[in-house]
Structure 1
Amino acid sequence: MSERVLITGGAGGIGAAIAEFARESGYEPVIIDRVGDGIIADLSDPDSTAAALEEALSDGPIHRLVNNVGMIKVARIEDLSFEDFEKHWAVNTRAAVQCMQAVLPGMRERGFGRVVNIASRAVLGKEGRSAYAASKAALMGLTRIWSLELGVDGVTVNTVAPGPIRTPMFEAANPPGAPATRAIIDGIPVQRMGEPEDIANAVDFFLNERTGFVTGQTLYVCGGKTVGAMGI
């Protein structure tokens, strides 16, 4: 029986690429999303998330977790509603905590676990991203805390922070052809947009059993954007 890896938001975009890399690496992806062929759930709702996790773990413990699900609604601070703010935290942060708590007993029992949180380069600053950046920055903080708490259990926890990646979510927040979007692409040192496979490749590294001496880290996969011009 192949090792399973739980991937939230794995039905499309970056999540789907992570699932495909997982298959190629010999893992069995267990996907929780609101659409697709996996376990259907509304990850913004704790009860729906709990039911999905119970189903995912009904076949036994899962020792690899990718907290990938995310949402973004662009709004400057004066236009940000508390409803949208809370939903960002529910999807981008609370769901990750709930998934971690669900799989942790099995990881501890085995003395092995791999956890990857998907954050964003936007945590370093981008207009209109108050709720999104705050909720994703929280994931980076959780990565550091969990790595300290769980290292003794053989569990590593790391973050991958994508830069501009060609996905429907990116294009919804950054309309193709808009001057601001063109400026983003022109400011990438490698002179191209990232693809979902670029993120999946980084996640695959952190999920590997051999990557046991790397924990608590954030890897920006951004084409050099974090050391070049800002503004994604």
Structure 2
Amino acid sequence: MNNNPDHHSPERVLITGGSHGIGAAIAARCRQDGHTPVILDREGADAIHCDLSDPDSTAAALERALADGPITRLVNNVGAVFPNTVSDQSLAQLDAAVALNLRSALQCIQALLPGMREAGFGRIVSMSSRAALGKELRAAYAATKAGLIGLTRVVALEEGAHGITANAIGPGPIATELFTRANPADAPQTRAIIESVPVQRMGTPEDVAHAASYLLDARSGFVTGQTLYVCGGMTVGVAGA
């Protein structure tokens, strides 16, 4: 087993949904950290194109990604919201949320684990959400993002002896392109969101990428099974409830 904290050689990092928003920021940060991002996404010039909500498409993309050898760092970033109330959330929406937000993560973990075990080293980061603690109109989304936290904790327990860590990140309100289109800077609802954040600003994709960089680092080997909320303080008083 290689638990050497000086394990700094440039390596590939598999990132799902890495062509836009938070995923693209994580890919950019991986490049800054000297790693090569391998992106699985529906689009993007540098991505291996696949439908991560489909097991067969995901399996084919993973086979392509691993054709060049093992990958010991993984970011399960892809996700979709499917907003609805509990009363109106359709079972089809729930199935879609599970397939994309949760099943793809387990499938990627399973594909990469053999190479991580062989190397005696692995870093798994899964993108949860503050919605895992509860948020209106997020029934399917919150359930699957909470599921990622549970999966993370199980992987941490089962794989720690192999030098593999598993952690989750729970972003708060992040000013992605998608968010800013729906919430213009001068809109009252945007101001209300900012005023609800203790640090009095929106988060950026780079804020989340910085947290991911820390958890992906070889020197973070004593941190596992944890959820790091990158939320500007919004979950304080909620996370422990």
Structure 2: 5+ residue stretches without partners = 1-8
- The aligned runs of 1:195-206 (5 Å cut-off) are 195-206=204-215
Partner residue of 2:77 out of 58, 65, 68: 68
Which one-letter code corresponds to 2:167 in the other structure?
N
Aligned to 1:77: 86
- The aligned runs of 1:71-220 (5 Å cut-off) are 71-171=80-180, 175-176=183-184, 179-220=188-229
Question: In angstroms, what is the RMSD of aligned CA positions?
Answer: 1.7
Aligned to 2:29: 21
Structure 1: 5+ residue stretches without partners = none
Quick check: 2:121–2:162 contact (8 Å CA) kept in 1? yes
Q: Give the Cα separation in 2 of the matches to 1:205 and 1:46.
A: 30
Q: Give the Cα separation in 1 of the matches to 2:172 and 2:48.
A: 28
Scaled by the length of structure 1, what TM-score is found? 0.94
Quick check: 2:133–2:238 contact (8 Å CA) kept in 1? no
Quick check: 2:18–2:27 contact (8 Å CA) kept in 1? yes
Question: 1:125/1:178 Cα in 2 relative to 1: closer, same or farther (>3 Å)?
Answer: farther
- Which segment drifts farther, 73-82 or 185-194? 73-82
Aligned to 1:3: 11
Q: Give the Cα separation in 2 of the matches to 1:103 and 1:32.
A: 14
Which one-letter code corresponds to 2:18 in the other structure?
G
Q: Give the superposition deviation at 1:183.
A: 2.2
Quick check: 2:18–2:26 contact (8 Å CA) kept in 1? yes
Q: Give the superposition deviation at 1:181.
A: 4.0
Partner residue of 1:225 out of 234, 238, 241: 234
Quick check: 1:2–1:27 contact (8 Å CA) kept in 2? yes
Q: Give the superposition deviation at 1:229.
A: 8.9
Q: Give the Cα separation in 1 of the matches to 2:35 and 2:99.
A: 28
Question: 1:179/1:131 Cα in 2 relative to 1: closer, same or farther (>3 Å)?
Answer: farther
- Which segment drifts farther, 106-115 or 183-192? 183-192
Once the two structures are aligned, what percentage of the paired residues are identical? 61
Q: Give the superposition deviation at 1:169.
A: 4.0
Scaled by the length of structure 2, what TM-score is found? 0.91
Q: Give the superposition deviation at 1:182.
A: 3.2
Which one-letter code corresponds to 1:46 in the other structure?
P
Partner residue of 2:44 out of 33, 36, 41: 36
Q: Give the Cα separation in 2 of the matches to 1:139 and 1:171.
A: 26
Which one-letter code corresponds to 1:9 in the other structure?
G
Q: Give the Cα separation in 2 of the matches to 1:169 and 1:67.
A: 19
Quick check: 1:188–1:229 contact (8 Å CA) kept in 2? no
Q: Give the superposition deviation at 1:122.
A: 1.0
String of CA shifts for 1:128-172, please: whole Å, max 9, x gaps.
000000000000011111000000110000011100001134457
Which one-letter code corresponds to 1:139 in the other structure?
L
Q: Give the Cα separation in 2 of the matches to 1:181 and 1:91.
A: 28
Aligned to 2:3: none
